[in-house]
Amino acid sequence: MHGFFDTPIEFLKGVGPQKAALFNKELKIFTYGDLIQYYPYRYEDRTRFYAVRDIDASMPYIQLKGKIRHMETVGPPRKRRLVVYFKDDTGEIELVWFKGVDWVMKKLQPGVEYVVFGRPSAFGRKINMAHPEIEVLTNFNIQGGYLQPVYSTTELLKRKYLDSKAIGKLMKTLSDMAKPKVSETLPSTVLDDYRLVGKEEAIRQIHFPEDNDALQKARFRLKFEELFYVQLRLLKLKIARMDKFRGMVFDKADLLSKFYNHHLPFELTNAQKRVIKEIYRDMRSAKQMNRLLQGDVGSGKTIVGFICMLLAVDAGTQAALMAPTEILAIQHYHGLKEHADKMGLRIALLTGSTKTSERKIIHQYLKSGELHILVGTHALIEEKVQFQILGLALIDEQHRFGVAQRSKLWQKNKEVYPHVLVMTATPIPRTLAMTLYGDLDVSTIDELPAGRKPIQTVHRYDSNRLKVNGFIKEQVDLGRQVYVVYPLIEESEKLDLKHLEDGYESICRAFPGLPVSIVHGKMKSEAKDFEMNRFAKGETKIMVATTVIEVGVNVPNATVMVIENAERFGLAQLHQLRGRVGRGADQSYCILMTSFKLSKEGKVRIETMVRTNNGFEIADTDLKLRGPGDLTGTQQSGVLDLLIADLGKDGNILQEARIAAQAILAKDPDLSLPENFNVKKQVEAQKKTVVNWSRIS
């Protein structure tokens, strides 16, 4: 069907082929439909005029009305600037131009009444405005009374005269034409229940709001709609899969009993017991399991994973665990091997550095079914790796894997998909989990093993290093071990490595005779493993490292985590790093080192870390600070390409939208009722544009 909104943008009055090409390239706007959904990212408040007397530097863009008393250029010829003394009845403010001085000067005349729009800033003790907009007062702008939409553009577009104002003009043309063409996309019951304004009204008000109230209603409506359809899609997917994919039935629990009765190394927490029950219920249900297991660092997900493996093996199938890094895979392998050996199960490790000869044997035993458990990195999903029958695919630290990688693992079986359990240590904020994994069932371990003392976190400035070293010494004397972590990012790799090495040397100098390890990503993996092992065995007391130790590493005797340049780490990463300590019964500490210079966001991150150990709270703050794109990596950004909703802020709307979608599907799973005609139509329309949704497992 070719409708009005599919019309190429080129045909809009004022666009034409050249501008259309720019729209395509720069903003991915191809059709009328794309343009009308190109919402303003902010609005300039032209609803009122401020008095000069009331201005302070913390204000956003504001509007003034007044006259020019005097203007002059100051400074040396090459750095000439224009200063305009602008006054109203209450006071005077300086307007400053550094560029286009002559042009602006020609335009302005003392004595004429102007409207000025700009952002005040403090300049010494005075307040001024640099490069404000200034227009002669006319009948049109005299009342104020409107919110002016601001559209984001690019440098290239601006150079071709497609600035925010120009886009606004095109939008006006389009929205006038579109008015009779916009049809409602939500059922009237939903509109009524959630008091949403109609689609046409929302579209009009989002671009050209009458007032703030109308704008807020429009935004709410459009966000609701967007999130509603995201949720509807995920929920439909879930329903479809439940119907379609049968699952292997794992109902034998002999190995499980044997493990519980003889080999369980500690009492499971109630949370662990609960999630095992949830998982077990799935595995015997004859439906394929797709479950997310989340739990804070140290909450004991590994043993839960192992117990699930026992169920799979008991049913005559195999289990695989995929980890994002080699170090983590190795550690999982050693941890699981200890249990597996006691249970008489065969387990192997497969990573990129597994030798060819060894690899061959693994392939063979895997195919013949003699190997029960395979642990590894993404090497597991290679074509050559063939199971006799894969019953359970466990994926650790899942957000690091792309969606495609995950689905490859569950396609290892031709006939029946394996059960899939995705484990994540980075707690995902509820809102994000609902969107990313809205079609997965979620189990949460919300309790740490007994006897853990909460990690004490402090913030110290670099100038306090001597004291910090003194503290490290105390801990080492008590027999504990210490991590000292440095940031390392690609962009500044050389310098970062140098900092790391300098840090290592100064630690060695500060603790003469004490064995110290150093580990970073640039080392050969044997050398890395060698050092990690020395530290794990307690042969070295201090580990100076980059974030290679971020995930999974488990050395219960390590009680101090010193993070250098802590302001350079993201919150999720800081929390992960901190999770490397506090794994034993001793009191653990995390020391965040920074210089005195901290950005506002950096400060919030550090304060958050000091305030709480709760991963969910941290994840929420992180989402608010960074936005969801960063949090999940680019692989999944497609899922999060939201036009207007913001997962960091719109959690409540998301919740309501999900409930609304659930209610509709519960009553009408095929959307065949007349009252859901709008929904069905919209879903069909979106099918054309939304790619790859079905691949998100």
CB of 269 to Mg ion, least distance (A): 15
Q: What are 635's two structure tokens?
A: 């692989």
Element (H, E) at 441: strand 441-445
CB 317 within 8 A of CB 389: yes
The residue (of 328 and 639) whose beta carbon lies closer to ligand ADP is 328
Q: Which does 199 bind (CB under 5 to 8 A by kind): Mg ion, ligand ADP, none?
A: none
CB of 615 to Mg ion, least distance (A): 13
CB 207 within 8 A of CB 171: yes
CB of 531 to ligand ADP, least distance (A): 20
Q: How far apart are CA 359 and CA 357, in angstroms?
A: 5
Q: Which does 29 bind (CB under 5 to 8 A by kind): Mg ion, ligand ADP, none?
A: none
Cα dihedral sign for 692, 693, 694, 696? positive
The residue (of 503 and 552) whose beta carbon lies closer to Mg ion is 552
Residue 411 exposed, middle or buried by CB count within 10 Å (0-12, 13-18, 19+):
middle
Q: Which does 187 bind (CB under 5 to 8 A by kind): ligand ADP, Mg ion, none?
A: none
State the residues that interact with ligand ADP by CB under 6 A: 266-269, 272, 295, 297-303, 425, 449, 554, 556, 583
- Which residues on adjacent β-strands are paired with residue 133? 117
Torsion angles phi and psi, residue 280, rounded to 5: -60, -40
The residues, ordered by sequence, that sit 6+ positions from 571 with a Cβ below 8 Å of its Cβ are 605, 608, 609, 618, 619, 621, 622, 625, 626
The residue (of 165 and 452) whose beta carbon lies closer to ligand ADP is 452
The residue (of 426 and 678) whose beta carbon lies closer to ligand ADP is 426
Q: How far is CA 560 from the centre of its chain?
A: 28
Query: What long-range pairs does 606-611 form, CB within 8 A, spacing at least 24?
Result: 606/459, 606/566, 606/567, 607/459, 608/571, 609/457, 609/459, 609/566, 609/571, 609/574, 609/575, 609/578, 610/457, 610/458, 610/459
Among positions 111-170, residues that touch Mg ion (CB under 5 A) are none
The residue (of 222 and 321) whose beta carbon lies closer to Mg ion is 321
CB of 258 to ligand ADP, least distance (A): 18
CB of 582 to ligand ADP, least distance (A): 9
3-state secondary structure of 643: coil
The residue (of 299 and 325) whose beta carbon lies closer to ligand ADP is 299
b/e code 486-498 from CB counts within 10 Å (16+ = b)? bbbeeeeeeebbe
CB of 549 to ligand ADP, least distance (A): 13
3-state secondary structure of 493: helix
Q: Nearest 5 degrees, angle CA 520-CA 452-CA 277?
A: 95
CB of 543 to ligand ADP, least distance (A): 17
Q: Which does 299 bind (CB under 5 to 8 A by kind): Mg ion, ligand ADP, none?
A: ligand ADP
Q: Which does 272 bind (CB under 5 to 8 A by kind): ligand ADP, Mg ion, none?
A: ligand ADP
The residue (of 129 and 297) whose beta carbon lies closer to ligand ADP is 297
The residue (of 24 and 587) whose beta carbon lies closer to ligand ADP is 587
Q: Which does 416 bind (CB under 5 to 8 A by kind): Mg ion, ligand ADP, none?
A: none
Q: Which does 295 bind (CB under 5 to 8 A by kind): ligand ADP, Mg ion, none?
A: ligand ADP
CB of 325 to ligand ADP, least distance (A): 14
CB 221 within 8 A of CB 644: no
The residues, ordered by sequence, that sit 6+ positions from 353 with a Cβ below 8 Å of its Cβ are 326, 525
CB of 301 to ligand ADP, least distance (A): 4
Query: Binding mask 534-573 vs Mg ion (x if CB under 5 A, - otherwise)?
Result: ------------------x---------------------
CB of 293 to ligand ADP, least distance (A): 9
Q: How far apart are CA 340 and CA 344, in angstroms?
A: 6
The residue (of 180 and 265) whose beta carbon lies closer to ligand ADP is 265
Q: Which does 602 bind (CB under 5 to 8 A by kind): ligand ADP, Mg ion, none?
A: none
Q: How far is CA 683 from the centre of its chain?
A: 26
The residue (of 335 and 521) whose beta carbon lies closer to ligand ADP is 335
Q: Which does 269 bind (CB under 5 to 8 A by kind): ligand ADP, Mg ion, none?
A: ligand ADP
Closest chain position to Mg ion (CB):
552
The residues, ordered by sequence, that sit 6+ positions from 309 with a Cβ below 8 Å of its Cβ are 319, 321, 336, 372, 373, 392, 394
Closest CA to 147 of 218, 223, 220: 218
The residue (of 328 and 593) whose beta carbon lies closer to ligand ADP is 328
The residues, ordered by sequence, that sit 6+ positions from 253 with a Cβ below 8 Å of its Cβ are 280, 311, 314
Q: What are 85's two structure tokens?
A: 């003394």
CB of 303 to ligand ADP, least distance (A): 5
Q: Which does 583 bind (CB under 5 to 8 A by kind): ligand ADP, Mg ion, none?
A: ligand ADP
Q: Which does 298 bind (CB under 5 to 8 A by kind): ligand ADP, Mg ion, none?
A: ligand ADP
Q: What are 442's two structure tokens?
A: 């979620």
Q: Which does 380 bind (CB under 5 to 8 A by kind): ligand ADP, Mg ion, none?
A: none
The residues, ordered by sequence, that sit 6+ positions from 486 with a Cβ below 8 Å of its Cβ are 496, 499, 500, 503, 544, 545, 546, 564, 565
The DSSP secondary-structure symbol of 261 reads: I
CB of 182 to ligand ADP, least distance (A): 49
Number of residues interacting with Mg ion: please give it, by CB under 5 A: 1
Q: Which does 303 bind (CB under 5 to 8 A by kind): Mg ion, ligand ADP, none?
A: ligand ADP
CB 7 within 8 A of CB 31: yes
CB of 452 to ligand ADP, least distance (A): 8
Q: Which does 554 bind (CB under 5 to 8 A by kind): ligand ADP, Mg ion, none?
A: ligand ADP
Q: How far apart are CA 331 and CA 321, in angstroms?
A: 12
The residue (of 449 and 487) whose beta carbon lies closer to ligand ADP is 449
Other CB atoms closer than 10 Å to residue 195's CB: what's the count? 9
The residue (of 353 and 554) whose beta carbon lies closer to ligand ADP is 554
Q: Which does 429 bind (CB under 5 to 8 A by kind): Mg ion, ligand ADP, none?
A: none
The residue (of 139 and 261) whose beta carbon lies closer to ligand ADP is 261
Among positions 311-340, residues that touch Mg ion (CB under 5 A) are none
CB of 301 to Mg ion, least distance (A): 5
CB of 421 to Mg ion, least distance (A): 13
Closest chain position to ligand ADP (CB):
300
The residue (of 311 and 336) whose beta carbon lies closer to Mg ion is 336
The residues, ordered by sequence, that sit 6+ positions from 500 with a Cβ below 8 Å of its Cβ are 486, 488, 518, 520, 544, 545, 546
Residues in contact with Mg ion by CB under 5 A are: 552
